[in-house]
Amino acid sequence: MSPTNPMKSRKQRIDDLAATAGGVAVADAGAIDESPGVSLIASAWARLRRNPVFLLGLGITSVFVVLAVISPWIAPHDPGIGYLIDKVRQQSNPIPGPEPGFPLGADNKGRDFFSRLLVGSRQTLIVGVLATLIGLAGGLVLGILAGAFGGWVDSLVMRVVDVLLSIPSLLLAFSIAALASRPSQWTVILAISIVQIPIFARLLRGSMLAQRSSDHVLAARALGVRPNAVVFRHMLPNSLGPVIVQATLVLATSIIDAAALSFLGLGNPDDRQPEWGQMLGASQQFIYDHPHLAFYPALCIIVVALGFTLMGESLREALDPKSRR
């Protein structure tokens, strides 16, 4: 038997120890994990469905949207007809109280207050959604121009955005709505949407500028991909995440701004189509003796705006790694 080489035996022991360290063979160290990956949306949803704040906001907004859609069919009475007008007494009983079939009583024109609250949710939803969509569309156009072209186009667009952002949003909305010859629901929608355009434009422009220097965009340009394809297939889809989250938050501010404009009489003058801000404004002359006329519309506005805000903030935390707790 040949004598054992002590150096070889030591090396062999080290190799054996490394091969079995932690119960994992060295041969498996370079193995590729073939398990399917998880997309950003799937990963965000996995966190959101365990987030009680998001679930609360989603529940509030879901109830609001469902009620707004079906309110004309579930409202017990027509909100424009004064069923209790014969009980309205300007001196002794200007606001009829609750009675069977009218759980919240009526307003100063004898119209069912509960039905007006239900149907008013539809008008509030229409104004908030349309104003947000129009503002989002305008912001996308300006943001794409500034982020894709850069140079003097970026400077020109951003100076216009800076001017709009320098004016308080509610004051700007008031000014735009007041310029209309006849106030209507569309003047409120346009006024609020114009206020939201610079917010979306600046946010999208910043996201697209960050994408311009990313590896996949540089690789696409190096391969000779056309500029339009680089912008709309590589830069824009990867820049929309923060904009979509912002749209959820803007819905809350749009509802509040719409209520403020209607409260001041700049909204739809036809009170046969109820809207929460309009109802809140009409209640001011009776607020001391009948505070419920202001309490319920204000509560609805606050709860709905809170629901959209909770949902938007949760989406921001789930999609933005820097904001995750």
Judged by average pLDDT, the poorest of 9-18, 136-145, 248-257 is 9-18
Instruction: Tell which residue, 264, 258, 246, 259, has the closest CA to residue 308.
Output: 246
Query: pLDDT higher for 166 or 27?
Result: 166
Q: DSSP letter at 106?
A: B
- Are 135 and 193 within 8 A, CB to CB? yes
Indicate whether 309 pLDDT > 80.
Answer: yes
Q: What is the pLDDT of residue 185?
A: 84
Q: What is the pLDDT of residue 15?
A: 62
Q: What is the pLDDT of residue 24?
A: 46
Q: What is the pLDDT of residue 27?
A: 47
R_g (Cα) of the chain, nearest Å: 30
Query: pLDDT higher for 50 or 20?
Result: 50
Cα–Cα distance for residue pair 208/213, rounded to 1 Å: 9
Q: What is the pLDDT of residue 297?
A: 92
Indicate whether 265 pLDDT > 90.
Answer: no
Cα–Cα distance for residue pair 141/152, rounded to 1 Å: 16
Q: What is the pLDDT of residue 1?
A: 46
**3-class SS at 102?**
strand
Q: What is the mean pLDDT of the chain?
A: 81
Cα–Cα distance for residue pair 276/283, rounded to 1 Å: 11
- Are 205 and 141 within 8 A, CB to CB? no
Rounded to an integer, the average pLDDT of 198-220 is 82
Rounded to an integer, the average pLDDT of 94-101 is 86
Judged by average pLDDT, the poorest of 3-17, 88-102, 183-197 is 3-17
Rounded to an integer, the average pLDDT of 83-105 is 84
Judged by average pLDDT, the poorest of 60-74, 161-175, 226-240 is 226-240
Indicate whether 2 pLDDT > 80.
Answer: no
- Are 217 and 211 within 8 A, CB to CB? yes
Strand partners, 93: 89
The vertex-133 CA angle with 181 and 59, nearest 5°, equals 120
Render pLDDT for 269-304 as a digit per residue (tens, 0 to 9): 888 888 898 888 888 888 888 888 899 999 999 999
Rounded to an integer, the average pLDDT of 113-129 is 89
3-state helix, strand, coil in the chain (%, to 5): 70, 0, 25
Q: What is the pLDDT of residue 264?
A: 83
Judged by average pLDDT, the poorest of 99-108, 121-130, 159-168, 218-227 is 218-227
Q: What is the pLDDT of residue 84?
A: 86
Q: How confident is the model at residue 41 (pLDDT cuts 50, 70, 90)?
A: low
Judged by average pLDDT, the poorest of 22-31, 56-65, 95-104, 221-230 is 22-31
Q: What is the pLDDT of residue 25?
A: 45
Render pLDDT for 161-196 as a digit per residue (tens, 0 to 9): 888 888 888 788 888 888 877 778 888 889 899 989
State what percent of residues in the chain have pLDDT above 90: 12
Rounded to an integer, the average pLDDT of 15-29 is 52
Q: What is the pLDDT of residue 66?
A: 92
Give how far Cα 60 sits from Cα of 9, 64, 280, Å: 71, 6, 21
Give how far Cα 230 sits from Cα of 213, 258, 263, 284, Å: 12, 38, 46, 55
Tell me the range of 26-35, 114-123, 223-232 where mean pLDDT is highest. Answer: 114-123
Give how far Cα 96 sits from Cα of 58, 79, 116, 162, 287, Å: 36, 15, 15, 51, 14
- Are 106 and 96 within 8 A, CB to CB? yes
- Are 258 and 308 within 8 A, CB to CB? no
Query: pLDDT higher for 206 or 15?
Result: 206
Q: For 239, phi and psi rounded to 5 degrees?
A: -105, -5
Cα–Cα distance for residue pair 246/197, rounded to 1 Å: 12
